[in-house]
Amino acid sequence: MDTFLQVVANGLMLGGLFAIVAVGLTLIFGIVKVINFAHGEFLMVGMYLTFLLSTRLSIHPYLTAAAVVPALFILGALTQRLLIQPLLSARDEHVQIFATVGLSTALINLALLIFGADIANTPNYGLRSQFELGHVRILEGQLYVFLAAIALVIALQIFMKRTTIGRAIRATAQNRAAAQLMGINDRFIYILSFGLGAACVGVGSALIAPLYPTSPTVGTYFVLIAFVCVVLGGLGSIPGAFVGALIIGVVDSLSGFYIGSDLREAVVFAIFLLILLLKPSGLFGTRMNLSHVSP
């Protein structure tokens, strides 16, 4: 029983990590209606920034978030303004997806050119140390990631429901044409939303970098799992992305322990296919989730 509880706890901690990436992904899709295949590379950029600031300036990785989050926000906003915005009027919506795929490839190769294929290890400042919670052992850094994921979801919920900008974002997500008639600048909302989604990844970058080695392809694994979490929770649903991430984290941990570590991803993507077949809208999915951000 203790072993089972330990595996489940590991899964929940892993789910918190997936949640931070998935929340930013679903935020972008729910508003801009673009699946950002470069989302994982945004994470990679943030992790390299964390690595550089932490090693060159001897700053605690968590403190680098003060610079990494704004940098990722700017990267996301520029991506929307310069790459996605000109393509929104294209007849074929797939052009926007191909553009993010091209950006993903460009960022990976740029990282290879600058940093090479070697792995970069960010100083962990004791974040890999374990502490006991009953009969369960948890990495200190994983707990901080889990708590940060909860805080991020709550903050986004409050922002969406209680602020003028948040209500404008929800209105644009619900009906772009009606929002325009009410005087909402939809272009600004799209840029802001893309920036916020990337900023969420910036938060994750500072939290994840001390726990995982950084490489040009580090974002690929996280974003693939994030897609599964988003589909499971319901495309565009912020609470759904969080719950979906926790479920996938537990499934990943249980399958890795009881079935085999080499088959854990097969189990996760088998669930992904079942969701698409049986309930494509996901657990909290509706036609437009961000127009009512609470499940």
Kindly give, in sequence order, each residue whose CB lies less than 8 Å from that of residue 192, ignoring residues fewer than 6 positions away.
77, 165, 169
- Paired with 130 in beta bridges are 139
Residue that is written with structure tokens 């799209």 in the block: 190
Q: What is the rounded distance in angstroms from the CA atom of residue 255 to the CA atom of residue 247?
A: 12
- 159: nearest Cα among 174, 169, 148: 169
Instruction: Compute the chain's Rg from CA coordinates.
Output: 19
Kindly give, in sequence order, each residue whose CB lies less than 8 Å from that of residue 281, ignoring residues fewer than 6 positions away.
234, 235
pLDDT number for residue 223: 87
E strand or H helix at 130: strand 130-133
Sign of the Cα pseudo-torsion (109, 15, 149, 50, in order): negative
pLDDT number for residue 292: 40
Tally the C-alpha atoms within 13 A of residue 223's C-alpha that lie toward its C-beta: 23
129 C-beta neighbours (distance < 10 Å), count: 10
Kindly give, in sequence order, each residue whose CB lies less than 8 Å from that of residue 245, ignoring residues fewer than 6 positions away.
15, 16, 18, 19, 22, 149, 226, 229, 233
Q: In the 8-state DSSP scheme, what is residue 214?
A: B
| pLDDT tens by residue, 159-185 | 998 999 999 998 988 888 888 888 889
Q: What is the rounded distance in angstroms from the CA atom of residue 255 to the CA atom of residue 276?
A: 20
Residue that is written with structure tokens 């994750």 in the block: 204
| pLDDT tens by residue, 65-96 | 999 999 999 999 999 999 998 887 766 767 88
Q: What is the rounded distance in angstroms from the CA atom of residue 214 to the CA atom of residue 44?
A: 7
CA angle centred on 272, ends 268 and 274, rounded to 5°: 115
pLDDT number for residue 287: 45
Q: What is the rounded distance in angstroms from the CA atom of residue 211 to the CA atom of residue 201?
A: 15
Query: Are the C-beta atoms of residues 17 and 252 closer than 8 Å to each other?
Result: no
pLDDT number for residue 235: 78
pLDDT number for residue 123: 92
E strand or H helix at 270: helix 264-278
Low-confidence ranges of the chain (pLDDT < 50): 287-295
- 206: nearest Cα among 19, 47, 41, 92: 47
Tell me the CA end-to-end span of the chain in Å, nearest whole number: 33
Residue that is written with structure tokens 């931070």 in the block: 20
pLDDT number for residue 156: 93
Query: Are the C-beta atoms of residues 268 and 255 closer than 8 Å to each other?
Result: yes
Q: What is the rounded distance in angstroms from the CA atom of residue 100 to the CA atom of residue 195?
A: 15
